[in-house]
Chain A
Amino acid sequence: MNTQSNAVPGLPVESTVTDRRYSTRPFYWSVRRELWENRSIYIAPLIVAAVQVFGFAISTIGLADRRRAVLLLDPAHQRAAIEQPYDLAAMMMIFIVFIVGVFYCLDALHGERRDRSILFWKSLPVSDLTTVLSKVTIPLVFLPLISFAITVCVQSIMLLETSVVLIFHGMSPATTWANVPVFQNWLVLLYGLVAIALWHSPIYGWLLLVSGWARRATFLCAVLPLLAIGIFERVTLGTSHFGSLVMKRLMGFAPGAFDFNPHHSIAIGSLTQLTPGRYLSTPALWIGLVVAAAFLAVAVRLRRYRGPI
């Protein structure tokens, strides 16, 4: 065992040692493996980004005239009008990445059983825990990071496009730069992505569990039980608490994490509207995290029992 800790990373231990060992990083390589297999993780956001950039480029036709009209509005409306496409781009990205995460999780522990490759993965010294954690890292860490990076790029290109068009028409691009506080927005975006990832963790946990359990039709297996419970509750008790619980799990991060200005739109205008303290003291957040951990524990356990389908 000592030889392993003495080993220089990446280099073989002296071959005079009969018990040759090489340093390993199972978790790191398991995450890379996921990225090799599921290229949609970054291709889907990139395609959306390309569409956004291209669409925005077309929308800059006639931008100068529209900008002149916008500048006649009061400052609040000015800002809303100029900032809107940027917010829209960010929200679209967040939505797309959520969809990608959902379908990734549904296949994560199902695909390896379907193509029998689970027999190969299990023939390597990688624990089920490492495997499941590497898979949940994708929606909880990797997808938020890549959506952040791509959104930053998209918004930068949009700013550049606008500036070039305005300068070309002899106008100052300052009206855009003043109304789109990009660095502040990026900070808000990063905060929002972390808040959403934590809030959605039980959803990803549930989907991973189902993908490790179901023999086929993982999407139906994940959704139908929820519908069944909702319908059962509606029929027997006439209430819809379960339905609102599910809806809250999808969207409920917003009231805790942000302090929305009731007089304005849903846009976040200032960093004082971020309320991490309040968010972290929301019981629903912690309940969600505990439930996520429980789902993942079941998924780890299931993987031990599961073989090829």
Chain B
Amino acid sequence: MVTIEARGLSKAYGTTIALDGVDLRVEEGRILGLIGPNGAGKTTALNAILGLTSFQGELKVLGRDPWNSRDQLMRDVSFIADIAVLPRWIRVSQMLDYVAGVHPRFDRAKAERFLAKTTIKRTSKVRQLSKGMVAQLHLALVMAIDAKLLVLDEPTLGLDILYRKQFYDSLLNDYFDRNRTIVVTTHQVEEIQDVLTDLMFIDRGRIVLECSMEEFESRYLEVMVNPEHLAAARALKPMHERPVFGRSVLLFDHADRDQLAALGEVRRPSIADLFVAVMSGEDGGQKSEERAQRSAVRSQKTEKEEQRQ
């Protein structure tokens, strides 16, 4: 079943184009990571999916038009936004009462069980809780909702590493199953690398890369090239080149693993590395070459400086 389907999804704020004809298809049971630089249109895309913003083009979420039937859609969709948006004046007990009172798919007992694992007191107001506790509370509410789609927009922003780890662990172990779909945006790409089933890069309102994680793992290879093989490696047309400790790391798309192994140490790139490669490739070939040269010059300079010291 298709959870989200968009065709030609566009949104402009005045003269600024936030989404530029995005085609999107997310199947049930997937965990999609939407990755992009600031201002790429991630949040606009999520807002359109959640019925928080109007848009041009076609968009169906669970078969509904989000803009015109947000309240009905929200029976099946849950959402945690970029920063803690829980009202600060509300008590934890009131929060449970309210969500239980308005949400037909909220299992209060389940939320209570999640909260029992935390130190959050029922009588506390949200303003008295730490950032991490507010995130735990929001997660407890959302996990107790039997939703088909969960949208997370920078859910772990501002949390320390323990809470961030716990957040994704809880989601995977206690919440996610094949009947649910999760769409997540984050800048902490490395944290969700092992969580995702699908990956999507978005830049300047367009999707610039779309692949499943299996595809990602088989398609992209990174080689730390031995200096003597650098010319040979460059001849294989890498997507991107970056200096690491004075050596060059080249990222290849659809390259032969054995061939690369002869040039240096081959490994699987991280999403972050691929992201940088795709984004710099976006600027056009010439620019990326310039950038590579510049960084090469820079690395030479740093070497010289190191030698001087």
Contacts and interface: CB of A to CB of B under 8 A. Distances in A.
A115 B87 contact: yes
A119 B54 CA distance: 15
Given A32-B98, A125-B72, A127-B71, A119 B52 contact: yes
B101 A28 contact: yes
Contacts of A30: 102
A4 B87 contact: no
Contacts of B87: 37, 112, 115, 117, 120
B105 interface: yes
Contacts of A118: 85
B105 A126 contact: no
A117 B87 CA distance: 5
Nearest to A116: B85
A230 interface: no
B78 A307 contact: no
B70 interface: yes
B103 interface: yes
Nearest to A117: B87
A29 B105 contact: no
A125 B102 contact: yes
Nearest to B54: A305
A36 B126 CA distance: 13
Interface string A9-52: 00010000000111111101110110011000000000000000
A28 B107 CA distance: 19
Contacts of A127: 70-71
B103 A20 contact: no
A265 interface: no
A124 B102 contact: yes
B81 interface: yes
Interface in A156-199: none
A304 interface: yes
B104 interface: yes
B146 A20 contact: yes
B98 A29 contact: yes
Interface residues of B, number: 40
A50 to B, nearest CB: 24
Interface string B8-43: 000000000000000000000000000000000000
Interface in B48-62: 50-54
Given A20-B146, A22-B104, A117-B86, A124 B74 contact: yes
A23 B108 CA distance: 12
A264 interface: no
B200 interface: no
Residue of A24, A28, A32, A125 contacting most chain B CB atoms (<10 Å): A125
B220 interface: no
Contacts of A20: 105, 107, 146
Interface string B68-99: 00111111011101010111111100100111
Contacts of B120: none
A183 B103 CA distance: 43
A123 B155 CA distance: 14
B107 to A, nearest CB: 7
B101 A120 contact: no
Nearest to B77: A123
A115 B94 CA distance: 18
Contacts of B52: 119, 122, 307
B100 interface: yes
Contact of B103 (A4, A117, A119, A124): A124
B99 A124 contact: yes
B106 interface: yes
A185 B33 CA distance: 67
Contacts of B109: 12
Contact of B104 (A4, A29, A116, A119): A4
Interface of A: 4, 12, 20-26, 28-30, 32-33, 36-37, 112, 115-120, 122-128, 130, 304-305, 307-308
Given A24-B103, A119-B79, A120-B81, 9 more contacts: A22-B107, A24-B101, A25-B102, A29-B97, A33-B98, A117-B87, A118-B85, A120-B87, A305-B54
28 contacts: A4-B104, A12-B107, A20-B146, A22-B104, A22-B106, A26-B101, A29-B97, A29-B98, A29-B102, A30-B102, A32-B101, A33-B98, A36-B89, A117-B85, A117-B87, A120-B81, A122-B50, A122-B51, A122-B52, A123-B50, A123-B74, A124-B99, A124-B102, A124-B103, A125-B71, A125-B102, A126-B102, A130-B71
What 7 pairs between A and B have smallest CB-CB spacing? A29-B101, A127-B71, A117-B87, A123-B79, A125-B74, A119-B85, A21-B104
